């Protein structure tokens, strides 16, 4: 590439970034991306050797499609939704499909087996981060096969690292190995990306690392040893608006950030 062409491309890129930063969502998104990059560079050499560049999933729960389109226009591609119905509505929205052709949807909330077909039918569905039973994994696998999709569905196994059974979904850490084995051996239409946890919302980092994240790290180590998998081949989805930098520092490769990008959520009364 000629030097003058390269300079021109860089100038166009800078001008595009300035234009994108004219909106509040774009400003917030660019700020989060910068924080992600700073945290990534601050990883220890040992952590850095095991981890890829973190994937930022913008959680658009309760937010209007205009904000999604705005974030997409600013360069964001991965978006997460907690509720099946909201994901279905946004995923099938004609304006989002037209203006965000490369959008990648993540289902990040609890998914019941009887809602699988609705989720699998969403255009540009990229990942289900909440596989917590063999039944759900099998149902997803069969749905992908039945629809004749040309690529495997990416999934994370959700781990309940806090033991709060009433508040949080996920498989117990002691049973993760069995579920991972089921996904990798019995679900040929699924691709296991790694392990996911929600983690405690109110953990005070001044008291030390988030224990839920530490549990996920130990769980990955145990699974990799048993399944003969390299740790760098098992991603970790952990970290949200209040702790994503800490999560990245200790090895997260997938962070889910919502309110820091889009503002406080608007829940219906």
Comparing 185 with 2, the larger pLDDT belongs to 185
- On whether residue 7 sits in a domain, the answer given is no
Report the number of distinct structural domains present in the chain: 1
- On whether residue 4 sits in a domain, the answer given is no
- On whether residue 2 sits in a domain, the answer given is no
Q: CA 141, CA 126: separation in Å to the nearest integer?
A: 14
Report pLDDT digits (tens) over 202-229. 666 667 778 999 999 999 999 999 999 9
% the chain with pLDDT above 90: 78
- On whether residue 263 sits in a domain, the answer given is no
Q: What is the dihedral of CA 140, 143, 149, 150, to 10 degrees?
A: 50
The residue range of the domain holding 247 is 14-257
**Residues 6 or more apart whose Cβ sits within 8 Å of residue 253:** 51, 52, 53, 54, 55, 194, 235, 236, 237
Q: Match 């096969």 to its residue by tokens.
A: 145
Report pLDDT digits (tens) over 14-26. 455 555 556 899 9
Q: Confidence class of residue 239 from pLDDT cuts 50, 70 and 90?
A: very high
- On whether residue 197 sits in a domain, the answer given is yes
Residue 162: its pLDDT value, please? 81
Mean pLDDT of the chain: 89
Residue 7 backbone dihedrals phi, psi, to 5 degrees: -60, -40
Report pLDDT digits (tens) over 141-152. 999 999 988 899
Residue 149: its pLDDT value, please? 83
- On whether residue 6 sits in a domain, the answer given is no
- On whether residue 172 sits in a domain, the answer given is yes
Dump the DSSP string for the chain. Answer: --HHHHHHHHHHHHHHHHHHTTSHHHHHHHHHHHHHHHHHHTS-HHHHHH-PPPEEEEE-TT--HHHHHHHHHTT--EEEESSHHHHHHHHT-HHHHHH-TT-EEEE-S---GGGHHHHHTSTTEEEEEEE-SHHHHHHHHHHHHHHT-SSPEEEEEEB--S--TTT---B-GGGHHHHHHHHHHH-TTEEEEEEE----TT--GGGSS-HHHHHHHHHHHHHHHHHT--GGGSEEE---TTTHHHHHHTT-SEEEE-HHHH-S-----
Using alpha carbons, list the distances in angstroms from residue 16 to 10, 37, 251: 10, 19, 31
- On whether residue 198 sits in a domain, the answer given is yes
Query: CATH number for the domain including 208?
Result: 3.20.20.10
Q: What is the CA radius of gyration of the chain?
A: 19
């Amino acid at each position: 590439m000629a030097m003058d062409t390269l300079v021109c491309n860089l100038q166009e890129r800078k001008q595009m970034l300035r234009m994108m930063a004219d909106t509040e969502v774009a400003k917030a998104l660019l700020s989060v991306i910068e924080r992600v990059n700073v945290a990534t560079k601050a990883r220890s050499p040992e952590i850095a050797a095991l981890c890829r560049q973190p994937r930022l999933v913008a959680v658009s729960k309760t937010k209007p499609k205009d904000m999604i389109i705005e974030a997409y226009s600013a360069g964001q591609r991965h978006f997460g939704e907690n509720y099946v119905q909201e994901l279905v509505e946004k995923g099938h929205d004609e304006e989002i499909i037209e203006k965000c052709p490369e959008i990648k949807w993540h289902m990040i909330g609890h998914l019941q087996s009887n809602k699988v077909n609705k989720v699998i039918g969403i255009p540009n569905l990229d990942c289900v981060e909440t596989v917590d039973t063999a039944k759900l994994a099998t149902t997803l696998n069969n749905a992908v096969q039945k629809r004749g999709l040309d690529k495997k569905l990416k999934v994370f196994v959700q781990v309940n690292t806090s033991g709060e059974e009433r508040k949080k979904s996920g498989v117990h850490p002691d049973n993760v190995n069995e579920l991972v084995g089921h996904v990798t051996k019995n679900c040929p239409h699924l691709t296991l990306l790694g392990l996911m946890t929600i983690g405690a919302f109110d953990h005070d980092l001044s008291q030390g690392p988030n224990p839920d994240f530490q549990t996920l790290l130990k769980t990955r180590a145990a699974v990799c040893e048993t399944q003969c998998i390299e740790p760098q081949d098992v991603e970790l989805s952990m970290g949200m608006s209040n702790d994503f930098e800490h999560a990245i520092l200790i090895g997260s490769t997938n962070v889910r950030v919502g309110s820091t990008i889009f503002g406080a959520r608007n829940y219906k009364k």
